[in-house]
Structures are given as C-alpha cells and as structure tokens.
Amino acid sequence: MQIIPAIDIIDGKCVRLTHGDYGQKTIYNEDPLEVAKQFEDIGLMRLHLVDLDGAKAAAVKNWKVLEVIAAKTSLVIDFGGGIKTEKDVAIVFDSGAALATIGSMAVKEEETFTGWLQKFGVAKFLLGADVRDEKLTITGWTEKTDIWIYDFIQKYMEKGMTQIFCTDVSKDGALEGPSTELYKNIVQKFPELHFIASGGVSSIDDIYALQEINCGGVIIGKAIYEGRISLKDLKKLNR
C-alpha cells in the first residue's frame, strides 16, 4: 500500500484545516520544501499537494510551491486545488506535477473534464471524491449532491480512470479514524481500482486496518503534523 503524505498550502505555507474549514487553520511549517524533503529522506515516493488558496479562488495559485518541490525532490506529486481550465491543467503539468487532482470539475463539468482526459491522457489524472453519507459533496465540501459514490466511480472507470481517492469529509482533519467500512465496500465493489483512502487517519493502527481491506494507498496529513504518526513509523511502513 502506498503511503502518500499530504501537504496543504495557504500563502505558500504548509497548513491543515479541520473539516475543510478555513477558519480552523493551523500553520505547521513556513517552508513546504523542507517538509517534502523530510518525506523523501525516509524513502517515501509520493506526495499529495493541495493548493487551498487555489481551491478557494477557483484558479491555481500556489504553482510556485509545486515547481520548487518538483525541482528539488524526486517525489511523484499529485497536485490539486483550483484546476478549472485547460490552462490550469497545463500550468500544473509544466510546474512538475505527475498527476492533476480533479474533484468538483468531474461532477460539475463532466464534458470539460472528459476532454482533458482525452487530450492529456487518463493516466495523468487522479480523481478525488469527497463524500458524506456515501453521497458526493463538491466545491470545497460546501455543496451536497445526490450522486452516490459508487455510481460516480463506475462512470469514470468506464472512461478509463484507474486511480481514485475518496475522503469522508466528516472525518477529515478530525483524527477520529478513517471510514473503513465505506472504503471496504468500494474496494470490494471495484477490485481492479487503485483505490486511495483519505481522511481521518490518526494512528498506525488505522493504516494497518486500511491495508487489511486492500486499499491501494492512503493519504495522511494531520496525523503526521500532530505527531500521532512519526516519520520513523512511516519509514517502517514503507519497507
């Protein structure tokens, strides 16, 4: 199972939000590159980089941070937040991201996103699904939809998507444990999917539980920054 640390960016700094609330923000490091290098130094290979300013502004903002991390580490970076136009997609790839992370666009602008898949290639995108009670939420978790997560995954797998991560927004940043039952159902329903769990991971035991249900990867954020999971623990897991 891939261990994928997350770095969330506001004003070029490494931060975490609780339940996606910009009012509940903690700054963990002024220098995201320093954080990324710590992950690289213990042998991790992936990085989930989120432009929270971009998500709010509906346009990529922190691409300079991406550029620096991509140039100065060998991490395989997926970058998301504010990717709304083809120009945004191009900026993200030109700045060194291996994958562009798309969430709301895949729901609201299906035709546009499908066009990007055709133009840039399905392998260049990581699909993100934010859910509450198995229904998708979009636009930074502010809008609820009636779209069932399983229908959403099925539709995009039919378009060739192979990597999807899912965040239960009721768990994210709360350090209360992940939605193991939900993720187990998804993995069982779509065994050929490279499924990445996200949100709520608070301990090494949570990671083992996700490993047990055959998740392909796990995104970990706040638990690292709050010291619940040490870099030493992640190094062991990554062997």
> Looking at the annotation, which residues are catalytic?
8, 130
Cα angle 145, 149, 153; round to 5? 125
60: helix, strand or coil: coil
Query: What is the three-class DSSP state of 125?
Result: strand
- Distances from the Cα of 186 to the Cα of 26, 39, 153, 181, 232, angstroms: 32, 28, 9, 9, 30
Q: Is 57 left (phi over 0), alpha (psi -120 to 50) or beta?
A: alpha
d(CA 206, CA 223): 11
Q: Kindly state the helix (H) or strand (E) to which residue 186 belongs, with its residue range.
A: helix 180-189
